[in-house]
Amino acid sequence: MSNERINEVLKKFGLSSIDVQVYVFLANQGSKEIKEVALALDLPEKKVHRSLKDLQSLCIVEASIEYPLEFMALPFERVLDLLIEIKKEQTKSLQASKEELLSAWRYITEKDNEKS
């Protein structure tokens, strides 16, 4: 699978372009500090920090417990499993809300039709 295909797939799962860059860099290079990531990717440290927080919230990047913090990426196979599970949960949630949403939609459209 090419880098472009991997980037495309990760973006489809909701990762930003910067998130993808940061994840792929860490996955290939191993544990790094924010400064090292920012320098290697030619990105501002604030953007890298924000991306790392987002990636941590998805549980696909972890931070060391000692200072200075180093960040490491989970293996790609595990990341795909996690992202698939997140999408499954989102789908279940939407499915569970379907009737409520349809009822609300009917109410809105009926009110609009009454006004016409």
Mean pLDDT by 10 residues, the chain (116 residues): 83 92 96 97 97 94 94 94 90 90 88 70
DSSP 32-89: B-HHHHHHHHT--HHHHHHHHHHHHHTTSEEE-SSSSP-EEEPPHHHHHHHHHHHHHH
pLDDT at 96: 87
Look at the domain 3-115 and name its fold. Answer: Arc Repressor Mutant, subunit A (1.10.10)
pLDDT at 1: 58
